[in-house]
Amino acid sequence: MKIVIRAGGVGSRLWPISRESNPKQFQMITGNKTMIGDTIDRVTPLLKNKSDLFISVNETMKKRLKKNFPKFPIKNIIVEPVSKNTGPAICLESVIAADRFGEEEIVASLPSDDYISDAKAFQELLVLTENFLKDNPEYIVTPGIKPNYPDTGYSYIKSGKNLMKAGDQAIFTVASWVEKPDWDYCKELIASGLFYYHTGIYVWKLKTILGLFQKHQPEMLAACRKMLALSKKKNQTEKVKKIYTGLEKMSIETAITEKTKKIAMSVSNRIGWSDLGKWHIIKDLLPPNNGDNLTRGGVFPFDTTDCLIYGPKNKLIATLGLDDLVIVDTEDALFVCPKERSGEVKKIVEELKKKKEYKKYL
């Protein structure tokens, strides 16, 4: 099995720490390792050779990746000229992997910023999925996680027929998808016991996913194949960028997975997965370290409860009489909001993009 770590996103929901110039996956937000470093360590035991691991980034992050991981092979860095969401990114990575290894290879494509508490259980689930695909190559498989609280920011997958079982791990058909339901519907889905969080992780045989791109997104596939051919020639960088820039921005779900019936979900109750994409998730995931608050930097929380307060080491943040807030202070930007609304910071980022004088803060 080959593995692609997708690290091209900006992570705007963790603004102002996560920026275009220094996105969350290259930062130590939850511990003493970067998110992408944790992901590399988690998947390395699954690799037969170091050359079996790829990292996909956009052009602006290529230098940072090289700086953070100087020993990572250059030929295994997949560069998106611009960010076009996961549809074009996965199409490009699949074309490159097929050119390198052939279309019979099985590939796992996963985000760089997931939190997983049990790496061994995660590795076991990917091995189970790989074995399933060897006998059932017509499927694409995505791991699902049993939800423990309603979250309107996730998509949900309904489990169908049991296809394979090994201990506490299993693979089901996908009966249906629900894209980011409202709060009340979220509670209904969870109460049914049949729905799982969609992780955004995928495992497939290259022949299968490329066949689906040919069926549902033929122009995208042709463009990525043309990019690959041009990249093998000299002085074609601008042509490659122009082709990719012309692709429609779309998710892999919109492009492919919601259009195919041969999709399965692998499940394990031991993984302990979380998408580290919102400040309130980080607050609820990590143990409090300053009273019942989660803090970093110079923070003095007086009569303050259940807050996340991140600040620089060389600056004191003192609070009084606060409850359930997110406070994130950087050298040039301060963000404050009720904890339950922290996922909406992306709205602020989108508005800042519209005003030239604020772009320096992005």
Angle at 133 between CA 130 and CA 134, to 5 degrees: 90
Distance in angstroms (rounded) separating the CA atoms of residues 336 and 326: 6
* Predicted pLDDT of residue 11: 82
For position 335, what pLDDT does the model report? 97
Are the beta carbons of 111 and 200 closer than 8 angstroms?
A: yes
Domains of the chain by residue range: 2-277, 280-361
- Going by the DSSP 8-state scheme, the letter that residue 62 receives in this structure is H
Half-sphere exposure of 267 (CA within 13 A, CB side): 25
217 pLDDT more than 80: yes
Question: What's the rounded Cα separation, in Å, for the pair 107 and 177?
Answer: 23
Beta-bridge partner residues of 165: 170
Q: Are 334 and 16 in contact (CB under 8 A)?
A: yes
Instruction: Measure the CA–CA gap between 133 and 260, rounded to whole angstroms.
Output: 16
Q: Phi/psi at 174 (nearest 5 deg)?
A: -95, 115
- Check whether 277 has a pLDDT greater than 80: yes
**Under DSSP, is residue 226 helix (H, G, I), strand (E, B) or coil?**
helix
User: What phi and psi values does residue 322 have, to the nearest 5 degrees?
Assistant: -105, 155
**pLDDT band at residue 254 using 50, 70 and 90 as cut-offs:** very high
Q: Would you call 29 helix, strand, or coil by DSSP? A: coil
Q: Tally the C-alpha atoms within 13 A of residue 202's C-alpha that lie toward its C-beta.
A: 24
Q: Regarding predicted confidence, which is higher, 50 or 78?
A: 78
> Phi and psi of 304, rounded to 5°?
-125, 130
* In the predicted structure, residue 150 carries a pLDDT above the cut 90: no
d(CA 259, CA 250): 13
Place of tokens 């992901």: 39
Average pLDDT over residues 99-116: 96
The mean of the pLDDT values for the chain is 93
Q: How many CB atoms lie within 10 A of CB 207?
A: 17
Q: Is residue 213's pLDDT more than 90?
A: yes
Angle between helices 86-101 and 218-231 (to 10 degrees): 50
DSSP 154: S
Q: What is the pLDDT of residue 205?
A: 98
- What's the rounded mean pLDDT across residues 72-84? 93
CATH fold of 2-277 reads Spore Coat Polysaccharide Biosynthesis Protein SpsA; Chain A (3.90.550)
pLDDT above 80 (res 31) = no
Bridge partners (DSSP) of residue 320 are: 302
Cβ–Cβ under 8 Å, residues 141 and 204: yes
Residue 149 is predicted with a pLDDT of 82
